[in-house]
Structure 1
Amino acid sequence: MNIKTLLLDSNSKLIEYIVIPFLILVIAFILSKVLRAILNKFVTGASSKLNVDPTKYNFLKNAVSFVIFTLAIVVIFQTIPSLRAYGVTLFASAGILAAIVGFASQSAFSNIISGIFIVIFKPFRVGDLINIGETHSGTVEDITLRHTIIRNFENRRIVIPNSIISEQTITNSTLTDDKTCMFVIMSISYDSDIELAIRIMQEEAMAHPFHIDNRTQEDIDKGTPDVIVRLVSFGDSSVNLRASVWANHPTDGFAMKCDLHKSIKERFDKEGIEIPFPYRTIIYKEKKIADATTSNKESL
């Protein structure tokens, strides 16, 4: 073997063992930086809309770098023939370990994936008033990749895993507009004056400090009432009226609704509007049986 052949073999091994791996790592480094910058911009924007600290999602950027460099190492092992056999054994063992860890951490990963979906789709933000299914309701205090913290109306903190939230129907009262329409339903007797009852409900609603006029200019021009009261149904012993009353915030709306129940009831009592209650007729059959027995004895 001459010197030229040795130099060619040496150069080829230099390219194979040093140059190619170095280029692969450089490409991986550049790709990691680009993807981290894109992800950082996205997470920062999403976190500002969610009103949460973007540093809570730093692990996403680290995960991107980890995946890219792992793939780069796999490519390097596959490129160098002498390392290929060791690489197969190494990554096979790592795959088994990853499968065991993944199975053991299935619930944790499910919460993380659900947290990522919250970051992407933004169904609620910190400070939003939400209902989760039919069970929990309150104000969102914090959002992490594992769980969401809700402060309910009793000032208690409810920590709910994100995987559970992703499976529930979420009612967000403040996602785009804080204004809320409260339905105030009152029942009056069939003998009561319906027009008087409607007027009382409208007056009491418009007098409440939390009430707002939500009419458009077109509604005002058409003479649409500030508070619309409709007869919505007939009950067994009542006529059911529903007033639509607007407030600036769901919390104000709830307080207003409770106050209106009281003030309207007091006005109804004062104006002679009856709120009916069910009547029941009770028949004592024992007395009839006893009278029938006594009558039979006397006839004998």
Structure 2
Amino acid sequence: MKLLSFILLSTTVELPEWLDKTIAVLLPFKHYLIAVIIAIITFIAAQITRKAIKRQFEKSNHLGTKDPTNYIFLRNGISFVFSLIGIILIFYSIPALRSLGTTLFAGAGILAAIIGFASQAAFSNIIGGLFIVIFKPFRVGDILQVGTWEQGFVENITLRHTVIRSYKNERYIIPNSTINSEVLLNSSIEDEKTCVYLEMGISYDSDVDLAMKIMSEEAEKHPSILDNRTIEEKKNGNPVVRVRLINFGDSSVNLRAYLWAKDFVIGFVMKTDLHKSIKKRFDAEGIEIPFPYRTIVFKDEEKAKRFRSSDSKT
């Protein structure tokens, strides 16, 4: 063994001149080459892991009924972890950065305070994202309203934020810490069916009973209406759609129909359809949808005469 080692150590291998020059040029940059290699390996490892998780999710979700929230959060989390590992390895592979790190760690107390203050919001968002995944106040695909924000579909949940796509196809990027501190309106959790209010105003001279009958009939004819009556209500002959007189406005009697639909989106479309069909029936049956009237009283008779004469000329 000692003889073999001596032979190997004493043996010199002559490299081609071009290769020798290439090595001589690249040698001062070896640390940077190592950093590039680490970055490439980290990227490839992250992609392979993401694809493996995706295949596993698709395999277990062949029926399309599995909640994708955990998968999407895990996929985004893996990208973050691999990126963090890659940055740390690159940092320590370059001597200049390594010595900088040693200098920084010498003032660890001050550094910790600065980092803690700067990363407070970031960690708050990460903890918020974990709470969302664990307690599941909403899932990917749910119809959600955060506080006073516009309602929309949950499109993505990351470590930092949640993406909500509005009905206008706009994306709201909301930090997870903000979501956890707001009141959430989830139209999809537990039971997706929804009750839609359809309100119409009629004039005080119109037949209220006829208007309520028209609203009920038109709603019951719509293909998307959902019969949400209990067995007892069906036995008692209660209508599928209830219509109530809710209040008296300045120039209208306000009626409200209570419509049940399979989900929020179907309910919205049904409501817009019924606005059109009920308006046509009102026109055909002589039910007036009023506009505000203004009565002007002149205490001075001369001013009233001048106003009437000028109005007749126009």
TM-score normalized by the length of structure 1: 0.65
Which residue of the partner structure matches residue 235 of structure 1? 249
Gaps (5+ residues) in structure 2? 1-56, 58-65, 83-104, 307-314
Gaps (5+ residues) in structure 1? 1-43, 63-90, 293-300
Which residue of the partner structure matches residue 124 of structure 1? 138
Deviation, 1:287, is 9.0
Counterparts of 1:97 and 1:116 in 2: how far apart (Å)? 27
Q: Do the aligned partners of residues 160 and 270 (structure 1) sit closer, same or farther apart at CA in structure 2, a change above 3 Å counting?
A: same
Which residue of the partner structure matches residue 134 of structure 1? 148
Deviation, 1:282, is 3.8
AA partner of residue 110 (structure 1) = S
Aligned partner of 1:267 among 277, 281, 284: 281
1:236-289 CA-partner distances (Å, limit 9, x unpaired)? 222111100111110111111111111111101100111122111346799946
Counterparts of 1:49 and 1:199 in 2: how far apart (Å)? 45
Contact 2:67 2:139 in 1 (8 A): no
Deviation, 1:120, is 2.6
- 1:187 aligned counterpart, secondary structure: strand
AA partner of residue 69 (structure 2) = L
Deviation, 1:55, is 3.9
Give the superposed CA RMSD.
Answer: 3.0
Counterparts of 2:229 and 2:252 in 1: how far apart (Å)? 30
Contact 1:178 1:248 in 2 (8 A): yes
Aligned partner of 2:204 among 190, 203, 208: 190
- 2:214 aligned counterpart, secondary structure: helix
Contact 1:52 1:142 in 2 (8 A): no
Aligned partner of 1:50 among 69, 76, 80: 69
- 1:212 aligned counterpart, secondary structure: coil
Counterparts of 2:131 and 2:301 in 1: how far apart (Å)? 70
- 1:226 aligned counterpart, secondary structure: coil
Q: How does 1:29-48 map to 2 (within 5 A)?
A: 48=67
Contact 1:183 1:242 in 2 (8 A): yes
Counterparts of 2:238 and 2:263 in 1: how far apart (Å)? 23
Q: Do the aligned partners of residues 96 and 228 (structure 1) sit closer, same or farther apart at CA in structure 2, a change above 3 Å counting?
A: same
Counterparts of 1:136 and 1:279 in 2: how far apart (Å)? 34
Contact 1:51 1:126 in 2 (8 A): no
Q: Do the aligned partners of residues 131 and 291 (structure 1) sit closer, same or farther apart at CA in structure 2, a change above 3 Å counting?
A: closer
Which residue of the partner structure matches residue 114 of structure 2? 100
Which residue of the partner structure matches residue 37 of structure 1? none
1:161-184 CA-partner distances (Å, limit 9, x unpaired)? 112222222110001111111000
Counterparts of 2:304 and 2:260 in 1: how far apart (Å)? 61
TM-score normalized by the length of structure 2: 0.63
Counterparts of 2:181 and 2:229 in 1: how far apart (Å)? 37
Counterparts of 1:170 and 1:118 in 2: how far apart (Å)? 12
AA partner of residue 113 (structure 1) = I
1:128-166 CA-partner distances (Å, limit 9, x unpaired)? 001111222210011112000111111122211112222
Contact 1:52 1:126 in 2 (8 A): no
Q: Do the aligned partners of residues 239 and 100 (structure 1) sit closer, same or farther apart at CA in structure 2, a change above 3 Å counting?
A: same
Counterparts of 2:196 and 2:288 in 1: how far apart (Å)? 23
Q: Percent identity?
A: 58
Which residue of the partner structure matches residue 177 of structure 1? 191
Deviation, 1:233, is 1.0
